[in-house]
Each structure stands twice: as structure tokens, then as C-alpha cells.
Homo-oligomer: A and B are copies of this chain.
Amino acid sequence: MSVLTERGVRWTVQRYLILSYLYDHRTHPTAEEVYQGIRKAFSTISRATVYNTLELLKEYGLVQELLIEKERARYDFDVSPHMHFKCEKCGMVYDLEISLPPLPSEAEGHLVKGFQLYAVGICRKCRGEGEGAGTSGG
């Protein structure tokens, strides 16, 4: 993680565990989920460290912060440009592999540094569950 150490930022066990957790869990976990997940093996870690580290990793471009729901932020190890989809029924957040349009680095005079593309709806799984038996929708 030279991107950190080159700038006087230390690579600690906590930071490694947090980045590893996101690497292993591609379900776009929340800060709390990261905290609870790491705590199982590393019980002394604190919420503050998780929050601070996620913020730091985001600033250094190592993770992506998703603002797809109002209640809380989610985090994604995959920083490549891709779309996210949230199911309004089960709450799960999926990656969408839709090919993205060319995104301009400048628009109407503004310098554009990054994009986020979010979609909402009903996921494949929830669509399947609601059908089959009933005939008239609620």
C-alpha cells in the first residue's frame, strides 16, 4: 500500500483488516458491518477506527463510498467505474455490469472528478419470490 506509506500514513493491522474485509465481502457492507465482522477475530478494534479508516481509504482511492441509501453509507472494494443497484424490498445492493456511457472530465465548465450511478427497483430474487401463486398484485 505504497500509496499510503509514501505520504507518511502508516499501514497498520487495523487498516489491513478493514481493507481485507472489503476484499472478502463484496456485498457493499456498512461501517457497522465491517466493525462487527472484524470484531469476531480482532475484538479490540473500535468503531472510531473503522469509521476513520474507511474515510482514509476512501480519500486515498482504495475503496469507494456508496451513498445509495439515506440511512447509512456503504463501502465497496471495487473502485472501478460501475453501477450499483439497490432492491427496495430486500435492501440488498448489487453491482451492475452495464457498460457505462463515456463520462466527461468536464461538463458545463465544471471539472468532473468522479461519478456515481445508482439504480433502485426490485431485484431478480425478490421478483421471483412474489410471483407464481398470487394473481392480483397488492
Contacts and interface: CB of A to CB of B under 8 A. Distances in A.
A97 interface: yes
Contact of A127 (B100, B109, B116, B121): B109
Nearest to A109: B124
A122 interface: yes
A121 B116 contact: no
Interface residues of A, number: 36
A22 interface: no
A87 interface: yes
A113 interface: yes
B108 A97 contact: yes
Nearest to A120: B114
